[in-house]
Chain A
Amino acid sequence: MEKKTMPAFKGTKEQEEQLKEVIESHKGQEGAAIPVLHKAQDIYGYLPIEVQTMIAEGLNVPLAEIYGIVTFYTQFSLYPKGQHQISVCLGTACYVKGSGDILEKIKERLGIDVGECTPDGRFSIDATRCIGACGLAPVLTVNDDVYGRLTVDDVDDIFKKYE
């Protein structure tokens, strides 16, 4: 597989201030790394090495440990997400109802793979584990909008809303 290209880090001063506050409020607390990483990802949208370094220094733990945590948990992302984050549920209930075909169609349409973002930064695709809306299977979400009871033919209509 081709190596993903890493866009330059564009963190702002305000984001850095916010992150420092978060680190300060968790300092000394046992098991602080994961809650801090959650909040850092809320601030920056992802966790590039620059952000991880700030957290490691702020909490006084080795960067290797922070990196180890970030790469262990699938919720933490080393790469930025698209303006429209598409998540296709691949839980069992959705899978047996054909969500795999829907994911293929979206990948084909955007020309990117799972976990990647289109070069213009507009769309990214994730394959998620069960989001618990099994009654609506198969399901996909675009940012906070949920689309359920889908067929492959619905994909084009969904894209029309975001293009």
Chain B
Amino acid sequence: MDMVRGHVLCCGGTGCTSSGSEAIIQEMEAQLAAYGLDKEIKIIKTGCFGLCALGPIMVVYPEGAFYSRVKVEDVKEIVEEHLLKGRIVKRLLYQETVTDDNNIKSLNETNFYAKQMRIALRNCGVIDPENIEEYIAVDGYKALGKVLTEMSREDVIKTILDSGLRGRGGGGFPTGLKWKFAYAAEGDQKYVCCNADEGDPGAFMDRSVLEGDPHSVIEAMAIAAYAIGADMGYIYIRAEYPIAVKRLEIAINQAREYGLLGENIFDTGFNFDLEIRLGAGAFVCGEETALMTSIEGRRGEPRPRPPFPANKGLWAKPTILNNVETYANIPVIINKGADWFASIGTEKSKGTKVFALGGKINNTGLVEVPMGTTLREIIEDIGGGIPNGKKFKAAQTGGPSGGCIPASLIDTPIDYDSLTAIGSMMGSGGLIVMDEDNCMVDIAKFFLEFTVDESCGKCAPCRIGTKRLLELLTKITKGQGTMEDLDKLEELCYSIKNAALCGLGQTAPNPVLSTLKYFREEYEAHVRDKVCPAHVCKSLTSFVIDPEKCRGCSLCSRQCPNDAISGKIKEPFVIDQSKCIKCGACQAACKFGAILKK
């Protein structure tokens, strides 16, 4: 047997693949072979490390050297210096991992990872997701074995109930309770489904779990099937996630080969098998009844509840549907016990939550923190703050169903109930940071454009109501709004909340309501003063030349596509506002910073 003395972990998640990790892995293979190291150094393509902003990422063990933003041309140097001669290439290290005395410290001690606690993401960036043996080596399928051989179905449900685990897809319904209802439901056939239709823009934690640790979801679904008495499961996944789909297919096939899916699992007489169903790009299919309708092969429209899926779900049979991240927690809860899990988090929100940090923040990526961590800790400590010295303005959680949290509430501990109390919601865990350059009316409009586009059209409050909301918001961003429009806006929001059929319609007004609540003065500025304080809304913004700074070089007038700028050489130029189309070409061209937005 070959002795492997070192491992090179390369991230193969979507973020790093998009920034070119595939080419780096190929170059690494070629260079290792060229130096005759291919027998002693092993390359492992892992799932997401979380620090997508620094991708492509490469970690070399046993040293634990964390190379960031690696380029193809850097690979030769890493092989020659580090892997051959044992000298870490400090130039390429993530600078946070370099200590003052020029040594390297563990990744877990860096600001980004120190406050994190990885349960759902425990194996992401650690194991090779395309190799079932690696999952088994980190206690994989141990929980399924324990459940099938030592625990009754009632024990399993009690453990999940006692753990306090709540659904990670958005609503936060207690997972154990859902299982208990489906267990109690009468039916000759029951189903277990997984919601991997991660539709919230800016949320990608489910994709990362499936790309980095697909077996944990398969194992958890088998445990759920045993608990409720099902023998068939479906994973409904977005077609936009090709890497996740491929790894899931590989994982399912391997699990079948190892007898962990199929008939008579662990010789206990328990049967369970899984199928993948691809979504086709409809946000509403993240809603449970719509998702099941889509699996049935029809237009994914929601239907009224009750009957709840636990009694009448897929093909009118008792069904449970849980989200990917929820499932990823299950094997750990079974292995470590309900008390251990319940000791993490806050009183009513147990465990951890994964957030996808994005927008105006230095460390964009995936983070997993105990419930109750404050927004400030996530943004300032883990996220590394706002780039370019800008000021934090708001954080958006919960996607199109959530709201904007203003800077004054940055010390709010994050759990299901505190987020709902301030008019936002946990949602699936997208966390988009905005700075002073973002206009909150524009953001509300952005989300309403999304909702109008994605409304399935089944119920009138959502189909027509969101359209009317968007029209009002458009009017306001064009400077044509009145103060009565603001009242109308609010009234319409509450009507939609009360009357819409499904959870997505009922929460669609949240982005408007929360921005109206916390940023009302910004709406009023658009309406009363006809200005957009963040200079985003084009109709309310004008470009002007500062005569003090202008050197009269004429560059701007030559760039202007509409001949709106005129003047004499070496004297300040002027923009004719009636001709200006606000394209910003002049501002980009000016070398003296003399053109300002007003």
- The interface of chain A, by Cβ under 8 A from chain B, is 30-35, 37-38, 65, 68-69, 72-76, 90-93, 95-97, 128-137, 139, 146, 148, 152-153
Q: Mark B421-448, 1 if CB is under 8 A from A, else 0.
A: 0000000001010100010000100110
Asked if B359 and A34 make an inter-chain contact with CB atoms under 8 angstroms apart, the answer reads no
Sample (7) of A-B pairs whose CB atoms are under 8 Å apart: A31-B295, A73-B300, A91-B201, A92-B446, A93-B432, A130-B200, A137-B359
What residues of chain B lie closer than 8 Å to A90, measured between beta carbons? 201
- Answer whether residue B345 sits at the interface, using C-beta atoms and an 8 A cutoff: no
Also in contact, A73 and B207, with CB within 8 A (given A134-B202, A135-B365)? no
* Beta-carbon nearest neighbor of A133 in chain B: B18
Chain A residue numbers with a CB within 8 Å of B356 are 134
Which parts of B171-229 form the interface with A (CB within 8 Å)? Answer: 198-204, 207
* A132-B198, A136-B55 known, 13 other contacts, Cβ within 8 Å: A31-B297, A31-B298, A72-B299, A90-B201, A92-B396, A129-B283, A130-B201, A131-B240, A132-B241, A135-B15, A135-B51, A135-B55, A146-B18
CA distance A104 to B437 in the complex (A): 19
Interface residues of B (CB under 8 A from A): 14-15, 17-19, 51-53, 55, 198-204, 207, 239-241, 277-283, 294-300, 315, 356, 358-360, 364-365, 396, 399, 430, 432, 434, 438, 443, 446-447, 450, 456, 588
Chain A residue nearest to B285 (CB atoms) is A73
Whether the Cβ atoms of B282 and A72 lie closer than 8 Å is: yes
| Chain B residues, Cβ within 8 Å of A74 | 280-282
With contacts A33-B298, A34-B294 known, is A134 near B282, CB below 8 A? no
A97 to B399, CA, bound (A): 16
- The answer for the CA separation of A93 and B430 in the assembled complex, in Å, is 9
Closest 3 CB pairs of A and B: A135-B52, A93-B358, A31-B297
Partner of A34 from the list B14, B19, B297, B588 (CB cut-off 8 Å) is: B297
Q: Select from chain A the residue with minimum beta-carbon distance to B585.
A: A152
Q: What's the minimum C-beta distance from B590 to chain A, rounded to whole angstroms?
A: 14
Alpha-carbon gap, A100 to B201, bound state (A): 14
Verify A135–B364 contact, CB threshold 8 A.
yes
A22 CB to nearest chain B CB (Å): 14
- Shortest CB-to-CB span from B50 to chain A, Å, is 9
Of all chain A residues, the one with the shortest Cβ separation from B456 is: A72
Beyond A30-B296, A97-B360, is A37–B280 a contact (Cβ under 8 Å)? yes
Q: Considering only CB atoms, which chain B residue lies closest to A76 in the complex?
A: B280
